[in-house]
Each structure stands twice: as C-alpha cells, then as structure tokens.
Amino acid sequence: MLKKTEIASMPSDLIGSSPVRPDGVPKVTGMAQYGADYSLPGMLWAKILRSPHAHARIKSIDTSRARALKGVKAVMTGHDLPEQPFAYHGPERVQINFWHMTRNVMAREKALFAGHPVAAVAATTQAIAQEALELIDVQYEVLPHVIDVDEAMRDDAPVLFDDLFTRGIEPAPSKASNIARRSELAVGDIAAGFEQADEIVEMSFKTAPVHQGYIEPHAALARYGSDGQCEVWSSSQGHFFVRAYTAALVGLKQNDVVVHPAEIGGGFGGKTVVYLEPVALMLSRMSGYPVKVVMTREEVLIATGPTSGSSMRVKLGVTREGKIVAAEGEFKFQAGAFPGSPMLNGMMCALSVYEVPNARLVGYDVVSNRPKAVAYRAPGSPIAAFAVESVVDELARRLQIDPIELRLKNAVQAGSPTIWGPKHAHDGFRETLLALQQHPDYHKPLGPNQGRGLASGFWFNGGGESSATIHVSEDGSIALATGSMDVGGSRASMAMMAAETLGVPYESVRSTVADTASIGYNHVTGGSRVTYATGMAVIQACEKIIEDMRARAAMIWDVDPEAVVWEQGAARLADASAGAQEPLSLKDIAAKRAVTGGPIVAEIAVNAGGQAPGFTSQFCDVEVDPETGAVKILRFVAAQDVGRAIHRRYVEGQIEGGVVQGIGWALNETYVYNDRGQLENAGFLDYRVPVASDLPMIEALIVEVPNPNHPFGVKGAGEVNIVPVMAAVGNAIRGAAGVRMTELPMSPPAVLAALDEQAVHA
Amino acid sequence: MLKKTEIASMPSDLIGSSPVRPDGVPKVTGMAQYGADYSLPGMLWAKILRSPHAHARIKSIDTSRARALKGVKAVMTGHDLPEQPFAYHGPERVQINFWHMTRNVMAREKALFAGHPVAAVAATTQAIAQEALELIDVQYEVLPHVIDVDEAMRDDAPVLFDDLFTRGIEPAPSKASNIARRSELAVGDIAAGFEQADEIVEMSFKTAPVHQGYIEPHAALARYGSDGQCEVWSSSQGHFFVRAYTAALVGLKQNDVVVHPAEIGGGFGGKTVVYLEPVALMLSRMSGYPVKVVMTREEVLIATGPTSGSSMRVKLGVTREGKIVAAEGEFKFQAGAFPGSPMLNGMMCALSVYEVPNARLVGYDVVSNRPKAVAYRAPGSPIAAFAVESVVDELARRLQIDPIELRLKNAVQAGSPTIWGPKHAHDGFRETLLALQQHPDYHKPLGPNQGRGLASGFWFNGGGESSATIHVSEDGSIALATGSMDVGGSRASMAMMAAETLGVPYESVRSTVADTASIGYNHVTGGSRVTYATGMAVIQACEKIIEDMRARAAMIWDVDPEAVVWEQGAARLADASAGAQEPLSLKDIAAKRAVTGGPIVAEIAVNAGGQAPGFTSQFCDVEVDPETGAVKILRFVAAQDVGRAIHRRYVEGQIEGGVVQGIGWALNETYVYNDRGQLENAGFLDYRVPVASDLPMIEALIVEVPNPNHPFGVKGAGEVNIVPVMAAVGNAIRGAAGVRMTELPMSPPAVLAALDEQAVHA
C-alpha cells in the first residue's frame, strides 16, 4: 500500500492541473438543481410574514382570517415550534443556543429586526399564500430600536433582552445590556512593550456589515410523513447541520429527517444556518402536504446574513528597526439580533501573522436590531485585519520601511507564539511576502493619484469530521461520494485525489454528494476544511480499496496478499522474478468482483486534525479621482499559501473570488437603514456588489508550502484571500491620495469627504 | 461481540413481530414517490411508437414530419442506440445478451411482436408527443407470425430469426428455427425406473403466459448531462441493474449513470429489465432536456412481462407403496420475441420436493411473436409444478393414498439428491406437509360439488451480492441504508434485524434505500434473496458498529477493548467486579462521537452463500358450479417454511399475495390474441386479475425451520407461495367435479367444456 509520503512526493500530471469540473456542464446547461428547483406532487407554497418594525413586542397574532382563505392549508407562528431549553446565560459556553435559534427562525415575544419572521402560511399557490399574509393581524407594541454597535453599547440604549447580562465580566453585571460577552486575549506586558516602542500608532475604525451576496436565495422543500419520517431538500453548506438543526427545532430525532443535498449558488458562510427548513417542515406537518418556500432577494437582504459590522481601536508600537513590540486593541462586533458574532475569531486572527511579544485585545459581542450575523469567509478575520493592517501600513510609512520588509521582520513561522496559546506549527506566511516581493508589478512606477497598498492575512483553516465512500463497479468505473456539500469545487478535487491515489484516470471517477441517510457525518463545508479533511477520508477510502484490490489479486493468483503491490493502478507481484503474472488493473479485478468476495466498497470516517492555516499577502494599485472620490482598482496581486493546489483553476477562482468580495466590502457594500430601522437598499441594484466592470485584473499567485500532515500537502484555500483586501485597498488609497480611510465602505462620498477634510487641514 | 448463534437463539420481542412499516404511512397518505412521480424543471415528455404488426420487416422509418412538429425536441429509432456485440450463438453461455436487449428496447431490422417499440418522440407536452407519433411513417413488410409455443416449434412455422440455430443439440442443426435452446437434466435410468413402477400416469399440459400484474406501470425520468454525467429515476426491482443495462445500452460507463430508487408499486419479477430508461436517457441526450416517459396500462400489457406460457408432458411411475421410482418430462417454454425463458429453472424445480431416483427432463426455449418473457415470482417453477403436482395428485388417487401421505413418502430433506447435482442441504419440506396434516380444515368434510386439492412447491431462494451501511448520529438515532429496492418490506425487516443486533429500539432506526452513487452494489431484489443476503450485510454492519462502540467505550473508560462487552444496547465492563462503570448506551457513546474518533460508520458488502430453499405445501377447497363451470375457492391454507419470519405480517402478506396471484393464473388470466397477433384484452377490465370479491380467506401457516447459515435463521419468503397454487386448484376441481384440467386458465368456459366432455364419455 502506498505510504502517505510516497504519494505527496510523487510527481503527478493530475494534481495541480485543471480537469473538467463535474459541476461545470450542469451549471452552464441549466441542468444543475439548486434549492428552488425541487418540487413534489401535491406541493404547497409557503410565504413568510415579517415584522416591519425593528423592535417591537408582539402583543397578539390573529391568523383566523388567513386560515379562512380558500387554498390556505396551514398557518404557523413561532409558538408552533416546540420551546427549546433556555440556555441563555448558563455557566458553560453553549455552542448552539437553540432558544435563540428557534426565535431567529420565527419571533415569539418580540420582533427584533425589520424582517424578522412572525408567521408563515402554506397555500396551494404562491399568490394565495401572499394574499393570506395580508390577512394576518399582528398587534405590535413598537419599541425604540438601535442599529449601530457603538450606540447599542451606550448605557441609555434600548435593550433587546431584559435578561441579557454580559458574560466574561467578574462580577457579572446586575443590569441588562446589549453586550452579550466581553472577551480578552493577552500576552506579555503591554505597558513595558509600549515603553520599548520608538513609534506608536493608534487609530479607530468602523466596518460595515456586509452580506455574503450569494446569487441563490434560500429555498427549502420539506415533506413531513405522518409517521415522523421526513425529508428536506435545501441549498446549504451542509445538509448534516440542516438535519441536526431542523430536527431539533421541529422536535425530531436526527434520523427522522433525511436531508438531500442540492447544488448551491454560493454560500460563503451565509448558508451555515437554517431559516426556512424548520418552517417548511412544520407547515408540512400541519398541512399534510409537502411545502416549498423560496426567499425573494429582498428577504435575503433584510433577514439573512450578514457578517458583523464593527467599531475598533488598534494601537501598535514598533522599534526603529521595525520590530513590533506591543499591541493593544478593542473590537466591538455587531452580533445582530441574537448574540454570537465572530469577535473572538477576529481577535485571534488580528495579530496572527506577526510575532508580538506584548499584546492585549478586548472584544465585545453586541446585539442590536438587525439580522443575526452569520459566518462570512474567514469570519472575523477581515474585520480585524482592516484595523491592524492599516495601522501596520501607517507604521511602515512612519519608519519609511517597505511594507513587505516591515512584515518580514515580524512574520510568524513554525514555532512562533500565538496569542491564544499553542505555537504556530506551519510556515507559509513569509513565502507569500517573498512571492510579492519578487513580482515585477510590485516594483512598477505609479502615476499621479495612484497608490499601492499591501496587506496580509491569516485564517485558521479547518479539519474535523468527514466521511467518504468509494464503490467500484464491475466495469472498473468508480463512484465516489462524500457528505460535504460542494461549494467551491470539492467534487472535482475529491475525484482528482481519488484518481491519483488509485492510479486510475480522472474520468473514471464519478464524484457526488450523498444524502444524510446514505453516508457518515460530514461537518459543514466551511472553514476551508473540505479539501483537507474530506480529502483525507477520500484518500483513506482509496487506500482501503487498494488493500482490498491486493487481496483480490492475491486470491486470483493464489499468493499471499503481502506479495502483491499496487502501482500505476494495477496489482503486481512485488517480486517480478517470482512469477510471470500479467498485472491486474483495477478494471480487471473489478470484473471478477463477484468471485473474489462481492461488492468492492469502502467507507472511511475521520476526525481530521493536523490542518494548517492559510496565509496570504496581497497588494493592489488604485487611482483616486480627486473630483469624485471614486477609487479605481488598477491591479490586484494576491499571493496565498494553499499547501498544495489540487485543482488549480478552482484554487485561482477561490483567490479571485475572495478578492472580489473584499473589493465590494472595501468600496461599496453597506446597509442603509432608515430612521425606523428598515433596510432601504434591499436589492442588488442598491446594495452594490462588484460587477465585472468594477474589477481589475486579479492575479492569483499560488504559493505551495506543503502541509506534511496531508498526503498531498493540502492546507485549504477558500477564505484567507478575503482577509487583507479592505486594508490593502485602504493602504493604496492612503498612498494615492494621502488620506487614511478608517471607515468602510470607502465609497466615493466617503473618500471625497476625507479629501475635503484633508484640504481644510492642509 | 455477539456471536451469530447467540443472536439467533436469543429470545426476541422484536423479531417475528409486526412493527409499523416504514413504507406504510407514505403509501396510504400518498406521499410515497413512485416512478412516475418524479419531475425535473424543463422536462420533456416522451411517447413510444409501437408496431401494430406481430411480425414485420421494418423497411424504413421517416421521422421528418414528426421532427418538424412544433414542440418536438427529439425523435429516435433503434439505430440511435449503439450497436451491441452479436452474442447470439457464441460458444459460451451468455448471461446477458445486449444484442437482444437493445432490440427489445427498440426494434431495428424487424418488429417481433405487436407492441414492439419502433420509435420514440420527446416533446414539450404529452399531447404533442402523441401527435408526433402519428406523423412518423414506418414502412413495414408484414410477415406471417406465430404465437403458440407448439406451433412455433413446427417445421413450417414462421421463423423469427434467420440465424437462430438451436443450442444444446449436437451436432448443431443447419436450419434456423424458433427453438433457441434444448436442455436436458437426467439422473438414474428411467427405463429401469418405470419397470419398477406399479402405477404410471402420463399427461400433457398447457399453461398460459400471465402478466405479473403490478399496479404501477413502468415509468422513467432521465437526465443526460452533456459531459456524460447522467441521472435516472425509475421504478424497478434493482437500480443497480438499471444502471448496468442503461449504461451499456446507451454506451456509457456504469458510474456515468446515477440511478435513484423510487417506491415500487409491485414488480414480482417483471421489473428486472429495462424498457424505458435507455429510451428516456437517449432522448435526453438528443434533446438536451430531462425526459420522462410513463407507460399506459395498455402498453404494459402488450409490451412488458409476462411469464412464459408452456406446453408440457409429464410421466411419473410409482410403486404400490407410494415410492416414486421414475419421472420423465418435456417442457416447452415460450420465450417471447427473444430467447430466454425460465425453462431450465422450471425443470430444476419440477421434481425438487421429491426423491426421484430415475428421471429425465427435456426442455425447449422457444421464441414466438409475443413480448419477451420476464421473470415472475419463482420463475419457471409454478409452470412445472402445475404439471408434476397434477400427475402426483392423479397417482395418489390411483393408489388411494392421502396426498400428504404420498408426498411424505417421497419428501426431500437435508441430504436428498437433486437432479442438478449437489444434495439438498436443508430440511423444511416435510414440516410444511405436517403443518397441513395437523390443520383442522384439512379434515373438514366437503359438500356437494366441492373438492379439496393439495400441492407442494420448491424454490431455490437466493443469496449473492449486497451492501449495507449503518450511520449513527450524535443523538443515537441510526440511519440504515441498503441498495436493495424495497419490494416486499425489506426496509422494515432490515430495521428490525439492525435494531435487534444493536440492541436498540426499532423506532430509532431509519431505514432507506440509497442511490447507486452512495452505496455498494446490490443485486436485484428478486429470488427471495434480500432478507437473507442484504440482511446479512446489515447484521455484519451492525456487528462492526458494535466493535466500534466497544472500542470507543474502552477509550472513554481507558480500558482494553477486550474488557468491554456489548449487551442490551450498551457497552459494559466484561468483568462487572473490575470497576464500577455505569453502562454506556449507544446514545451515550454517540454523543461523544467527535472526541472518540469522529463519525460512526460501517459499510459491509457480502456475496452471501448459504441461502436455503423455500418449501411450501398448500391445500384449497373449491366448489364447481356445474351449470356455468365457475370455480369458487372456499378456503386456502398455505404452509411455507421461511426459516424465520422477521416481520410477521409482511411474511403473511407475501404468502397471501403469492396465493392470490396463483389463483388468478389458475382461473382467469390469459392473453387473447386476434388472428393478426394483436392482444385484444390489454386492460384490467378484460385481463382479469383477481379482486377481493374473487378471493377466499387465505390462511398463511408460517413454518420456521431455521437456516443455520443466517444469524436469525432467515431463508426467504417471497416466491415459493405461488408455485403449487394452480395445481392445488386443479386438484381440487378434480375432486369436486371429477374432471382433470390440464390447461390454464381453468376458466368457466374451459371447466364447462371439460364437464360436457365428461358427460359425453360418461
């Protein structure tokens, strides 16, 4: 059997190439089935009634007129879902707070944001369901609301939960507030650290919450059997969490619910929660029919996502030689209507590309009257990076050191400390800086009003639980299944790793995603974990198949299995001189399946540790229009250590995609709330994600510092690419126009205002 | 770990009980999805043009007018499917003749029966597809045809294939005929045998071909990706053979095609072939859209199924004491339009309940201009049993021995010889006779025009290749999947065996059928193999889970896995005095899944030998109306050895179902062809399957002689129950009215004619 190290070091024409994607043709020909594309006979359509108020007590809901409408088969409110344990301020960290989750799915006591679901209708047509919504009479007591994170932290702010007492403070406060948690990370002695500093920069920042901006709205189809056997079809980043959450919220055992995977039109972290599935399933239970519900774009924008907005203060001290000696930071993250922002992630990532001997970071998780924050590509890290990398840039300017040089002086590598305890175990960061340093564009001269900005980023990358199966048919073709939703090309990368491990052509592997009834648990597709962890399960399943193939060949040849080796996709006698057997290919052996023991199967489950983090460094050139404040990005170069690229174009696509989303976050995207707390730009015409004409050439530099824990050296590639983008753009604007933008988005009016203020002070 | 024998001998409240069926509620609430219930966005409908002629050369097919019709997206003929290797009279036995199969799916050179597909259309609506069929211009050269098996064997019969030379004859004939094969089975010396006989009975019989009569017509939905990635949804008895056949006929690798299981509305052997799937997939390929095709009832009756009709002659010799000493038989089986009747099966089963020292059976597989014969419940055996068991009944009358006594004198048991070589390995037959002998109804007096008939039957039962997976969720609920289509309750029996093996409640197991991409190969659901073979895979998968559970418990307790036993669904320390650990239930351990190694999975594949045959003995009481010839069945008692019943009501249902189908075959079902070879009773009004009011109380006597090769003693229960029914009814008519019916169906006109003839000769 092949050893891991043998595989990793084996030259390969396949690994790192870009074969045809299994999802390519179905997507471009329209045959791919997304969440909304599933239908069942007798199916009803559901629509959801949402609160128009940002903050209101629900005094009563009268659904009788809606129920009486012809064609309406069921009407539900939040109280139709079973109550969940109140795990709000328990002593231990509660990973999943179902008491919150059920109220996020549908409000009970209070509506906490404009768009919060308060009731739902299932009817024979969409039009009837819509009409029925208007017949539901909800009596609200409208309360004062708060949107902004700094305002939400004020003593006199309207409080969302009367019983929310900040955790992480000793002694616990006796007064309820919107601060759900205070966290602190510290190392060394910051007072002593700042004493050593020759230059200190301290700045405050604000970032806007931005939506994940996936093209495909949420959709779910559910069928509740009256014997409790249920099925759900939905688009998500993980049908196993859909199963777990939906079962818990509806009050079922996990295996009562079979969740089928659907093609996904983008998720970026935003499809790691349930909104519609429990509603559709409960309406199916109440009506006795299958129920389908599809969000409009407006619903997506008012009631799903986004990532947190923030308010931050960062202070860094550096010696004349460029060694960072002290860091202090305050990170206030919006959680939205329920606790749980990526504040801690943000703090952990904030300084993680640098060796900082003395640091103290304090964070706050703050609720306010907007949709509950959800994961978005390296959640937390880009927010913190905007602050830290802007300050580092300012330090480089003060010291007149090239920003790459400054970073190289402080760059982490294997053995460097982290602020959260264990040491870094992997290299890769320096290599991204060196890749940019060697790039000719980094040294190109700039024109008037042009500037170049550089920034770096860190992301953990994930491992964890995954399962994979390999089944070999008698014609030698191979079925590969995993339980990992294919968000970013995993069907392709899994097939490539399987083909490479088995020594068979890529084309002979059919790569699919199995439903929750047919394969072992797979953790969510997120955290850049799938190519690493699910890939590990795939490779191990292939190794098990090889072991089986050797045993079958040994049976056919009547020799000991140890005498058989597997090379280039065929069983061979280890000692070629021992016999004159022709090699038996996988196809040869598969054809004799029945007489050598029956079906050829392998299922492997892993809880993969040994993952390695993602590092990236990026620079961009911008030109600022002094008349309008408009920022044009001229070029963008992103170097990222991915360990090893399996499917090269997919990895490039991940890098390009992260940069594009970062550019939107940097320059345009924001939520515009009116004074009643209602979103005024709930559509893609007004919520401006970048389109092709907004974008420069993006060059993805794939850096490969292999992860020794993975047979092919994989680290993960999906997220870190977004981390430094806003800082890189901000730093470039600083270079182009002399203004330091500290608030996102850096839209034309904001830049123009900064230019005007600069002119006033000049 | 539990030993097999421990499980089998363990008293169980579950095994043999009748818990709620997983398919019950979905079926009665209409939520179950059968083949025709699947749809896809953008789907086209297909219709099939069929030959009106029983035998005709296809001179040309002009599809241009059909193609020009608005809404038509593709038109295909047989030549659009790739040609298959001509494996017609190769030297070796060809198990699957794809050259025939592709022509059965769609005619090429010749239409061989009225109803033979000659072209197909895919269009945006069913109406347009139907209209387009009428625009296809097929030029036929009509040829003489032959329907009956005896006529088809005549020298001057119209010959279906110019190059069909009978196999099994040395030297091979030089003249083509309709006799595809001659087979012979022999043991001992029949001349010497008949010498010893005191009584000899020789009779000739004819049986009608009958349709499997499933309620659900064939249906298929297929999607051909332009990258060759295909999906098929259809109702069948095995999605793995659908995949294999469809891939071969369309020219794809097996794993290019993912076949999804559907609920099945009856198959009985008739859904072990493909008719529509290759047509739908090819039309999808040609059109670029998903294509759905659903047969009408008329299409089902003119072009699918049935089992063979036959013409037989059987001669048995018996001593005065009742020992059968010699047997001779001739079995001419209709194959329909292509070779391949269950003639050899029929001959193997014919004498298999008796020890017959001298026997010679000759069989013929004969083509004629009717639909290709397909498997039907114990294929071949009921046909042969009608002849043999009628003759045995006649012998009992001659000898004036009770028919049970006569059979007991000759009954096979473990160690008895078979006509095909190996000895019988299992008991069970005598026990079915004894069960009837002890039944009070067997001794009840009869009224005027009433008679009692008894007959016995044999079926091999199957083993073979199956795969199963078990996945345990963190809440302790269990997903069980197999690749065996659930035709007769296997989801229930699998869940019961899993729950019993694991020691958990039945309700905690969710039992499903996985698609072909998600599980290892499972052979077709047929041959009464699933409860045995797939059950073996399920039990072994559970044993693997138990092993895993013990290892995880050992990890939690920090002890050696060998110190842990699994009892009553929990891990316990083997030596209770060694420590004071509370038992860890499956649920306890599942909750710690992530920290004890990750997902809990097991996939097991088996090629199960060790199956045991099914034996049955049955009697029925009938009353013959001398005025009309109508036969009323008064009661029916069927004793069947099933080894061990897992789900009791399902087993009873199998027995009742087999008897009902046998009653239809005995009394009513037949194909009425006009002189042009067209079926005139292609509908359930005219093709008379029994309805509830036709049926007596059927009493299923479950006999349990455990199969020692299976942990629970399972043998299989699905098929043998149909084997003796026609003979039992015929024997009862003989008792009631004194006439020996030798032709099926024994319909009122036929019985009346026999009564009339008896009166003439009286």
User: For the segment B12-59, what is each residue's pLDDT rounded down to a tens digit?
Assistant: 789 999 999 999 998 998 889 999 999 999 999 999 999 999 999 999
* pLDDT at site A761: 82
- In this model, does residue A728 exceed pLDDT 70? yes
pLDDT in tens, A641-699: 999 999 999 999 999 999 999 999 999 999 999 999 999 999 999 999 999 999 999 99
Question: Residues of A with CB below 8 A from B30's CB?
Answer: 41-42
Per-residue pLDDT at B448: 97
CA–CA dist B589, B587 (Å, integer): 5
Mutation pick from B601, B604, B606 vs chain A, by most beta carbons of A within 10 Å, is: B601
Per-residue model confidence as pLDDT tens digits over A732-758? 999 999 999 999 999 999 999 999 999
Facing A508 at nearest CB: one of B26, B33, B253: B253
Return d(Cα A218, Cα A88) in angstroms, integer.
Answer: 28
Q: Do the Cβ atoms of A31 and B520 come within 8 Å?
A: no
For residue A145, give both structure tokens: 């609301």
Q: What are phi and psi of B326, to 5 degrees?
A: -155, 150
Run of H or E including B610: none
Q: What is the mean pLDDT of residues A6-33?
A: 82
* Contact between chains at B258 and A510 (C-beta distance less than 8 A): yes
Q: Is residue A93 over pLDDT 90?
A: no
Query: B interface mutation test: which of A254, A289, A587, A611 has the most B CBs within 10 A?
Result: A254
Amino acid at the residue B133: L
Pick from A6-20, A506-520, B72-86: least confident: A6-20
pLDDT digits (tens, 9 = 90+) for A455-473: 999 999 999 999 999 999 9
CB-based contact B465 A255, cutoff 8 Å: no
Which three-class secondary structure state does DSSP give residue B113? coil
| B599/A516 CB distance under 8 A | no
Contact residues on chain A for B227, CB-CB shorter than 8 A: 20, 22, 24-26
Q: What angle do CA B430, B432, B433 make, to 5 degrees?
A: 65
Distance, CA of B435 to CA of B637 (rounded, Å): 10
Q: What is the pLDDT of residue B91?
A: 40
Asked if B565 contacts B572 with a C-beta cutoff of 8 angstroms, the reply is yes
Nearest CB among B255, B466, B599 relative to A477 is that of B255
pLDDT confidence of residue A227: 85
* Cα(A589)–Cα(A599) distance, integer angstroms: 11
* A85 pLDDT higher than 90: no
Across A14-38, average pLDDT: 92
Please indicate whether, in this complex, the C-beta atoms of A519 and B288 are within 8 angstroms of each other. Answer: no
Structure tokens at B297: 């009832």
Cβ–Cβ < 8 Å for A388, A202: no
Could you tell me the two tokens for A32?
Answer: 């791919």
State how far the alpha carbon of A28 is from the alpha carbons of A37, A541, A693, B507, in Å.
15, 31, 22, 43
| Cβ–Cβ below 8 Å for A509 and B255 | yes
Looking only at the bridges linking them, the beta strands covering A450-459 and A614-624 are antiparallel
pLDDT at residue A4 greater than cutoff 60: no
Inter-chain residue contact A33 with B41, CB threshold 8 Å? yes
Give the per-residue pLDDT at B2.
39
Token pair recorded at residue B353 = 């309940």
What CA–CA distance (Å, rounded) separates A430 from B363?
81
CA distance A606 to chain B (A): 6
Predicted local confidence at residue B715, as pLDDT: 97
Say what the pLDDT of residue B206 is: 98
The pLDDT, as a whole number, for residue B11 is 56
Residue numbers of B between 19 and 48 with CB closer than 8 Å to A = 20, 22, 24-26, 29-31, 33, 37, 39-42
**Closest CA in chain A for residue B604:** A601
Residue A330 CA to residue A362 CA, distance in Å, equals: 5
Please give the distance of CA B242 from its chain centroid, rounded to a whole number.
16
Q: Is A408 touching B (CB cutoff 8 A)? A: no
Chain A residues near residue B475 by CB distance under 8 angstroms:
247, 253-254
What residues in B contact A43, CB-CB < 8 Å?
none
- CB-based contact B655:B698 (threshold 8 Å): yes
What would the pLDDT profile of A685-721 be if each residue is shown by its tens digit?
A: 999 999 999 999 999 999 999 999 999 999 999 999 9
Per-residue tokens: B722: 């149909």
Q: What is the pTM of this model?
A: 0.94
Residue-level length of chain A: 762
A376 vs B580, more confident: A376
Instruction: Tally A–B CB contacts below 8 A.
Output: 214
Mean pLDDT for the stretch of residues A595-610: 96
Token pair 């079979």 in the structure block, residue: A258
pLDDT tens column, A236-264: 999 999 999 999 999 999 999 999 999 99
Say what the alpha-carbon torsion angle A721, A726, A729, A735 is, to the nearest 10 degrees.
-120
With beta carbons less than 8 A apart as the criterion, state whether B265 and B34 touch: yes
Spatial distance between the Cα atoms of B428 and B280, rounded to a whole number of angstroms: 46
Quote the CA–CA distance of A318 and A198 in Å, as a whole number.
6
Q: Going by C-beta distance under 8 Å and a sequence separation of 6 or more, which residues neighbour residue B405?
A: B322
Q: Cβ separation of A518 and B515 shorter than 8 Å?
A: yes
pLDDT at B581: 79
Locate B568 and state its tokens: 């009553």
pLDDT tier, A8 (very low <50, low <70, confident <90, very high otherwise): very low
B29 CB neighbour count, 10 Å cutoff: 14
Residues of B in Cβ contact (< 8 Å) with A239: none
In tens, the pLDDT along A625-635 reads 999 999 999 99
Q: Which residues on chain B are in Cβ contact (under 8 Å) with A601? A: 467, 519-521, 603-605
Contact A294, A262 (CB under 8 A): no
Low pLDDT (below 70) residues in chain B = 1-11, 87-95, 577-580
Element (H, E) at A706: none
Of the pLDDT bands very low, low, confident and very high (cuts 50, 70, 90), residue A228 is: confident
Taking CB atoms and an 8 Å limit, are B473 and A521 in contact across chains? yes
- Best CA proximity match to B658, nearest among B100, B329, B353, B266: B266
pLDDT score of B401: 97
Any CB–CB contact under 8 A between A279 and chain B?
Answer: no
Chain B residues lying within 8 Å of A29, measured CB to CB: 225-226, 288
- Mention every residue, 6+ apart, whose C-beta is less than 8 A from residue B571: B549, B550, B552, B553, B554, B564, B565, B583, B584, B585, B589
Q: What is the 3-state secondary structure (H, E, C) of A258-302?
A: EEECCECCCCCCCCCCCCCHHHHHHHHHHHCCCEEEECCHHHHHH
B640: tokens are 């069947």
- Residue among B34, B44, B246, B254 with most chain A CBs within 10 A, to mutate: B254
The pair of three-digit structure tokens given for residue A123, joined into one six-digit string: 């009817």
What are A744's strand-pairing partners?
none
Q: Are strands A310-318 and A324-336 parallel, antiparallel or unpaired?
A: antiparallel
Mean per-residue pLDDT for A389-401? 98
Predicted confidence (pLDDT) at residue A317 exceeds the cutoff of 80: yes
Q: How big is the CA angle at A624 (ends A622 and A626), to the nearest 5 degrees?
A: 170
